[in-house]
């Protein structure tokens, strides 16, 4: 069951990171030069945080 949680979280994180990146670009008024690196940084922070929460909740 934990695999399903990680899969659903990963899909959600992808869309959340994309939405956050689009909000950043809209506020700046232009596309970021290294867009893929910024996307990676956003999704990395979100993934580490959410996967730790899932791990904590799964072991309770």
Integer angstrom CA distances of residue 46 from 15, 16, 29, 30, 42: 11, 9, 24, 24, 6
Residue numbers of the chain with a pLDDT score lower than 50:
none
Whether this model's pTM surpasses 0.75: yes
Q: How many Å separate Cα 42 from the centre of its chain? A: 6
Mean pLDDT of the chain: 96
Which SS3 state, helix, strand or coil, does residue 5 take?
helix
Hey, how many other C-beta atoms are within 10 angstroms of the C-beta on 24? 14
pLDDT at 18: 97
Instruction: Give the per-residue pLDDT at 52.
Output: 96
């Amino acid at each position: 069951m934990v695999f399903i949680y990680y899969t659903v979280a990963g899909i959600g994180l992808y869309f959340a990171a994309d939405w956050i990146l689009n909000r950043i670009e809209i506020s700046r008024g232009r596309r970021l030069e290294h867009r893929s690196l910024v996307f990676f940084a956003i999704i990395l922070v979100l993934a580490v945080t959410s996967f730790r929460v899932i791990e904590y909740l799964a072991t309770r």
